[in-house]
């Protein structure tokens, strides 16, 4: 298989779910952050991998309060890295919203 075909194949499998049409820009930003920073461990669709599953309502169940979820992303926890020096507050809020509203 050629390199081009391989990367096409990887691209087809590694898509984070799209933001609904007409959603605000923060969700699109959140999807970009998710794809770049989180999908490797949590799976492109949030289905889990090295990190736990966040989709199918899991994140809403574990974090009824979004602020508690934000704290994990900011500070890290066990093998979950801290993103406070990697992402801006705005990016962290955006990715937390994406996981709650789109991965859901
Ligand atoms: C290097 C792998 C890795 C990366 C990258 C990563 N995570 Fe995690 N994440 C983990 C692991 C492992 C855990 C479980 C931590 C624990 O056991 O306490 C976790 C836990 C979490 C949790 C808590 C889940 C729960 O149900 O308690 C959230 C929320 C989360 N990650 C969000 C993110 C977001 C958002 C990003 C991107 C900004 C991200 N993670 C990037 C590995 C990762």
The string of pLDDT tens digits covering residues 57-97 is 999 999 999 999 999 999 999 999 999 999 999 999 999 99
Sign of CA dihedral 84, 89, 95, 99: positive
- Is the CB–ligand 1 distance for residue 48 below 6 Å? no
pTM, to two decimals: 0.90
Please tell me the predicted confidence (pLDDT) of residue 11.
47
Q: Measured in angstroms, how far is the CA atom of residue 15 from the centroid of ligand 1?
A: 18
Query: How far apart are the C-alpha atoms of 54 and 9, rounded to whole Å?
Result: 24
Q: Which of 27, 35, 41 to mutate to test the pocket of ligand 1 (most atoms within 8 A of CB)?
A: 41
Selection from 47, 64, 50 nearest residue 100 by Cα: 64
Q: Measured in angstroms, how far is the CA atom of residue 4 from the centroid of ligand 1?
A: 31
Q: How far is CA 100 from CA 24, 33, 52, 73, in A?
A: 14, 14, 15, 13
The CATH number for 34's domain is 1.10.760.10
Domain ranges, residue 58: 3-103
Q: How many domains does the chain divide into? A: 1
């Amino acid at each position: 298989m050629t390199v081009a075909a391989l990367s096409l194949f990887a691209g087809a499998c590694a898509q984070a779910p799209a933001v609904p049409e007409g959603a605000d820009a923060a969700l699109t930003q959140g999807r970009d952050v998710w794809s770049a920073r989180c999908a490797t461990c949590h799976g492109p669709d949030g289905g889990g991998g090295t990190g736990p599953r966040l989709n199918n309502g899991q994140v809403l169940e574990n974090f009824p309060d979004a602020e508690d979820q934000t704290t994990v992303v900011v500070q890290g926890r066990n093998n979950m890295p801290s993103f406070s020096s990697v992402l801006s507050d705005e990016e962290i809020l955006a990715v937390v919203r994406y996981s709650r509203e789109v991965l859901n």
